Amino acid sequence: MEFVDHRVPVDLVVPIKRLDRAKSRLRGAVEPHADLVLALLLDTVTAAVAAEGVRRVLVVCEDTRVPAALRGTGVECVDERGLPGLNAALAHGAGVLRERDPRGVVGALQADLPALRSKELAEAV
């Protein structure tokens, strides 16, 4: 019997706070702090973009340094528009993705998973 893979590609929303407010417990570990936060985000989205089964990665942010840092990675960024909190940012990102493909599958991914591997994410989605 042949195995048929019926998985549907997933679009991922990755919300991130303003860099000066993100990962506050790590403040002082690396200076400038924004570089540490961007490195965590870059590791995460790099794994996500390379994961089999992930169609799109959309980062929701309000910090202008984020789109500049992610340029050329295959990740799209949308403005958070001052939304109040994580749930609002996730809903905004999901709405953007659903406008493009109302039948698409949307998932959420934390922005700070530096040890994430593409293969592991592919197995999860």
Q: Which of 3.30.930.10, 3.90.870.10, 3.30.70.100, 3.90.550.10 would CATH assign to domain 10-124?
A: 3.90.550.10
Element (H, E) at 91: helix 86-100
The pLDDT tens digits of the residues spanning 45-60 come to 999 999 999 999 999 9
Task: Find the distance separating the first CA and the last CA of the chain, reported in whole Å.
Answer: 24
pLDDT at 125: 86
The torsion angles phi and psi of 72, rounded to 5 degrees, stand at 85, 5
Maximal C-alpha separation, the chain: 57
The pLDDT tens digits of the residues spanning 3-43 come to 445 578 999 999 998 766 655 555 555 557 677 888 889 99
For the CA atoms of the chain, what is the radius of gyration?
15
Say how many residues make up the chain. Answer: 125
